[in-house]
């Protein structure tokens, strides 16, 4: 143990002998004993000579010298390294696939890279006119001839962002210190696409091989109706050859521990209510007034809206509820002229059933217009009938398999009708049994909202869910 500088030794020795410094912990008698050094009374300056070499050695400068290190605040936590699955999901979130002009290239390249790394077949299927496409990954089953295949669908596109309302860049996938990952699509539905891929990656690494062929599709335009993606794909020969019988598609987050499973969707009934009256200068106040009539009509409609809200089940099951929302209102040409015509667009969502059809709504609107005065009428802008529902019957093979799988895993579920519309409706129309399921428990539903985020642990738990569910479905015997 050669001293590096005699000046340093002398300086130290003078300081040490003349000071009242406490003995370092390692030089306490009990420690010296275990190191084979004879303990002495170290408080006596003369005896300190024994441990001089050790003291010098312990004082040598090192890179981690505490005097040169910034003080670490007491609330500072050192984050564990990020799970690589989370890092890959964040890469996907950084692709800007938002409407109205989604840029698919980086997202598609990401999907291709994942498929290649996992070792499953990647195919981009293009349709006419150019620009329409879907991405299809294929994990071949060991006995596909006897079994129909399983389809895991999610969409690449996301709804637009009003960046002035976001705390972080919506395409930076920022993760805060709680592990919340912010990004458009964090829930709806890049989480789901990334979770499918991670589950398959893990299953393949474990050596699992499915009996049925498992397909993973990534579609480009779910958020604007799905006509160019899923609906087009379902008519293509590539789809026919896949022999799909069961599809999983998007679901929704839930605040509790009960997974919502969506087996159907509500139909859309959209109308424009128009009221007419006499035009005049705003300084006059004529009785025949368009706005007064529209106000009356909307008032009556909102009584019905309140009834529906009152009828809503507190658990969020809206299957027997008709939602009514005023989305646009307009009319008039100048701030000082009373318009002769004023209008409102009202969007309604309903579950069609034998006792509740579009004609119940037209009856209601007829009556409302009649009560609101002369010159009040409505025009149907959209009547999108969504009747197909996937089975909830115990005699149905797929429903029984899903329900039993959930039971075996101890997962709770609540089958229900989806509040919005998704590509699952196209699948159901094509005769495929489709269930909407997103494994996002204890999570506020934030799809389409500002500052959409998902916690990394929720994301990771969802991978585990698919990792257990996919083998059950892929190996189920009909
Ligand atoms: C840690 O403490 C500092 C100083 O009190 C404070 O500015 C900072 O916001 C704290 N950080 C967290 C994550 O609480
Ligand atoms: C994302 O894409 C949209 C639509 O093309 C564009 O308007 C927006 O500026 C992009 N956002 C960022 C952060 O690049
Ligand atoms: C499609 O799946 C059915 C089982 O649902 C199976 O009987 C049939 O052989 C499969 N067809 C092909 C072409 O693989
Ligand atoms: C809805 O419920 C509230 C509170 O119970 C009640 O005051 C209101 O009258 C109800 N509205 C309708 C239209 O039934
Ligand atoms: C909806 O109505 C059906 C039939 O009237 C009923 O069986 C079901 O329980 C209702 N659902 C809810 C959530 O109230
Ligand atoms: C639309 O109206 C229904 C009630 O009719 C309500 O439950 C729902 O939250 C409304 N949606 C929005 C976006 O306000
Ligand atoms: C809907 O209309 C049908 C046929 O007119 C009627 O039998 C049924 O009672 C109506 N449903 C409701 C909830 O008013
Ligand atoms: C409302 O309906 C009644 C009976 O069907 C009819 O006599 C009346 O003229 C209607 N009122 C309006 C404003 O259309």
Q: Is the CB of 148 under 6 A from ligand 6?
A: no
Kindly state whether residue 72 falls inside one of the protein's structural domains.
Answer: no
Whole-number pLDDT of residue 144: 74
Q: How many domains does the chain have?
A: 3
Whole-number pLDDT of residue 158: 98
294 with 346, same domain?
yes
334 with 396, same domain?
no
Give tens-digit pLDDT for 369-410.
999 999 999 999 999 999 999 999 999 999 999 999 999 999
> Among all chains, which residue has been given the structure tokens 């130290």?
12
Residue of minimum CA distance from atom 3 in ligand 8:
370
Choose one of 368, 383, 398: the last residue of a domain: 383
Kindly state whether residue 42 falls inside one of the protein's structural domains.
Answer: yes
Catalytic position from the list 221, 222, 249, 265: 222
Question: How far apart (Å, rounded) are the C-alpha atoms in residues 120 and 470?
Answer: 15
187 with 248, same domain?
yes
Mean pLDDT score across all residues of the chain: 88
Whole-number pLDDT of residue 282: 86
Whole-number pLDDT of residue 312: 85
Catalytic position from the list 28, 126, 143, 157: 157
Asked if 82 is an active-site residue, the reply is no
Give tens-digit pLDDT for 293-310.
999 999 999 999 999 999
Choose one of 349, 368, 383: the last residue of a domain: 383
Q: For residues 195 and 439, is the Cβ–Cβ distance under 8 A?
A: yes
Ligand 1 geometric centre to CA of 75 (Å): 6
279 with 253, same domain?
no
Could you list the mean pLDDT of each consecutive 10-residue stretch along the chain, which spans 478 residues?
51 51 48 44 53 56 50 67 96 97 96 98 94 95 87 98 97 96 98 98 97 97 94 96 97 96 95 96 90 98 94 77 94 94 97 93 98 97 94 97 98 92 96 98 96 98 98 94
Instruction: Please report which ligand is nearest the Cα atom of 367.
Output: 8
339 with 283, same domain?
yes
Largest distance between two CA atoms of the chain: 113
Beta strands in 198-257 (DSSP E): 214-219, 244-249
Residue 223 is assigned to a ligand binding site: yes
Asked if 157 is an active-site residue, the reply is yes
* Structure-block tokens of residue 319: 């299957």
Whole-number pLDDT of residue 450: 97
Q: Is the CB of 307 under 6 A from ligand 4?
A: yes
Whole-number pLDDT of residue 438: 98
Q: Is the CB of 292 under 6 A from ligand 5?
A: no
Distant-in-sequence, close-in-space partners of 330: CB < 8 Å, separation ≥ 6: 342, 343, 344
Strand partners, 410: none
Whole-number pLDDT of residue 79: 66
The whole domain housing 16 covers 6-63
């Amino acid at each position: 143990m050669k001293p590096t500088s005699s000046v340093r030794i002398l300086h130290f020795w003078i300081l040490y002998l003349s000071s009242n410094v406490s003995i370092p912990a390692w030089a306490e008698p009990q420690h010296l004993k275990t190191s084979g050094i004879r303990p002495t009374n170290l408080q006596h300056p003369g005896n300190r000579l024994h441990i001089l070499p050790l003291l010098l050695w312990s004082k040598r400068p090192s890179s981690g010298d505490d005097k040169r290190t910034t003080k670490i605040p007491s609330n500072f936590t050192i984050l564990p390294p990020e799970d690589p699955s989370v890092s890959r999901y964040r890469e996907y979130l950084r692709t800007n696939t938002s409407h109205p002009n989604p840029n698919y290239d980086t997202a598609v390249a990401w999907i291709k890279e994942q498929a290649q790394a996992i070792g499953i077949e990647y195919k981009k299927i293009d349709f006419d006119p150019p620009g329409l496409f879907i991405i299809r990954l294929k994990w071949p089953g060991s006995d596909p001839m006897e079994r129909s295949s399983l389809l895991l669908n999610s969409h690449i596109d996301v709804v637009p962002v009003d960046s002035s309302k976001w705390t972080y860049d919506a395409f930076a996938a920022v993760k805060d210190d709680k592990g919340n990952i912010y990004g458009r699509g964090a829930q709806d539905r890049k989480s789901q696409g990334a979770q499918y891929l991670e589950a398959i990656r893990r299953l393949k690494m474990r050596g699992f091989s499915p009996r049925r062929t498992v397909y993973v599709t990534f579609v480009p335009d779910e958020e604007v109706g799905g006509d160019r993606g899923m609906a087009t794909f379902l008519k293509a020969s590539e789809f026919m050859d896949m022999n799909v019988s069961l599809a999983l598609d998007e679901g929704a987050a839930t605040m509790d521990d009960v997974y919502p499973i969506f087996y159907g969707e509500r139909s859309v009934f959209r109308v424009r209510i128009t009221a007419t009256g006499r035009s005049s200068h705003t300084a006059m106040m004529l009785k025949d007034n368009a706005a007064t009539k529209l106000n009356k009509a909307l008032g009556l409609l909102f009584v019905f809206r309140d009834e529906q809200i009152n009828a809503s089940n507190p658990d969020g099951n809206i299957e027997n509820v008709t939602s009514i929302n005023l989305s646009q209102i307009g009319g008039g040409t100048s701030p000082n002229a009373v318009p002769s015509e004023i209008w409102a667009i009202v969007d309604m969502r309903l579950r069609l059933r034998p006792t509740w059809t579009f004609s119940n709504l037209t009856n209601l609107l007829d009556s409302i217009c009649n009560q609101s005065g002369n010159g009040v009428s409505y025009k149907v802008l959209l009547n999108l009938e969504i009747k197909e529902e996937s089975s909830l019957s115990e005699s149905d093979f797929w429903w029984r398999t899903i329900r039993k799988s959930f039971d075996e895993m101890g997962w709770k579920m609540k089958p229900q009708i989806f509040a919005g519309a998704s590509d699952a409706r196209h699948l159901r129309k094509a005769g495929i049994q489709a269930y909407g399921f997103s494994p996002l428990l204890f999570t506020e539903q934030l799809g389409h909202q500002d500052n959409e985020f998902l916690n990394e642990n929720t994301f990771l738990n969802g991978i585990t869910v698919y990792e257990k569910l996919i083998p059950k479905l892929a190996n189920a015997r009909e």
